[in-house]
Structure 1
Amino acid sequence: MADQKYVTLQDDGKVNGNVEISHQVIEILLGIATNQVEGVYEMRGTISNRINSLFGRMNHGKGVDVVFQDGNVTADVFVYLEYGVSIPKVSFEIQRSAIEQLKFMTDIDISQINVHVVGLIAKKSNGDVERVTTDKKE
């Protein structure tokens, strides 16, 4: 079955009509929730994301891939963490925060959220940052 582009929320039958939420909205929600977790430096982006950010255009859904299939919502989150943080603690907090925000804002239960730590960012004493990554999309 092909991936769905929208998830439809079910009503208790009192109101006629549908509420559909696109996968881009879910990506944005998860991206914002992830960025608010302490220890996350940034999300993985593409060259176009970096160019857009230079012009002040933010893509809050960057670094998040969402799939709706067979009534399940799964997400992959790709992050760079600050050097020195506990990777398991930050990763579990990303999952907790993302699940909580998605449930609160959309009433959608996510069946799986996978956190991919694709690099670390080390801040040097002179203010520069060193990006340590194995991400091939970088």
Structure 2
Amino acid sequence: MSNKQTVSFESLSKQYLGEINITMGVLEDIAAKAASEIDGVLSSSQKKEAGKFLRIQGSGVNAKMRQIEDRITIDINVRIAYGKTVPIIAAAIQERVKEQILYMTDLVVSQVNVHVQAIDTEPQTQIGSSVEHKENELEIGE
């Protein structure tokens, strides 16, 4: 569901051709996609659980944008893979989000606040399948 509010900005063209507006939802989508491309980012806890229940596919990174006057702030909720350095990943998310929004919309983001919701360890299905595999090897070898 995209936010109906829009962000207006000046055209780079010297010739006035009309007004350009981008919805906040588009900026949130750009931010979520940019954050999900960082190595070690898995997904946000809320969207992952809701996605399972509603059978929704996607990156699972949750981004929310606010605009106060000319300042744009983005809050991003993510899950980080176990063993990754959280401050390095958070800084990479901040840089990547600012860079992509500037590149795609020519808008400057004032702040990117990264909220690490959880640290994910190895999924249970992989652990369970490796145990079953070892049990099968023991049965075959006897």
TM-score bracket, normalised by the shorter chain, equals: 0.7 to 0.9
Q: How many residues align?
A: 123
Unaligned runs of 5+ in 2: 129-142
Match of 2:5 in 1: 5
Offset at 1:16?
Answer: 2.9
- SS of 2:107 mapped into structure 1: coil
Offset at 1:15?
Answer: 1.9
- SS of 1:123 mapped into structure 2: coil
CA deviation map 1:68-118 (0-9, x unaligned): 121111010000000110000000000011111111000010011100011
Cα gap change, 1:36 to 1:62, in 2 (>3 Å): closer
Contact 1:7 / 1:21 at 8 angstroms: preserved in 2? Answer: yes
More helix per residue: 2
Q: Give the TM-score, by structure 2 length.
A: 0.76
CA distance in 2, matches of 1:95, 1:49: 25
Sequence identity percentage: 23
CA distance in 1, matches of 2:102, 2:8: 14
Report the structure number with the largest CA radius of gyration.
2
Instruction: Give the alignment of 1:1-138 within 5 angstroms.
Output: 5-11=5-11, 12-46=13-47, 47-52=49-54, 54=55, 57-58=57-58, 63-123=62-122, 127-128=126-127
- SS of 1:89 mapped into structure 2: helix
More strand per residue: 1
CA distance in 2, matches of 1:109, 1:37: 20
Query: For residue 9 of structure 1, what is the amino acid of its counterpart?
Result: F
Contact 2:43 / 2:61 at 8 angstroms: preserved in 1? Answer: no
Offset at 1:50?
Answer: 3.3
CA deviation map 1:23-81 (0-9, x unaligned): 000000000000000010113434543334x25x43x6851110112111101000000
Unaligned runs of 5+ in 1: 130-138
Cα gap change, 1:16 to 1:126, in 2 (>3 Å): closer
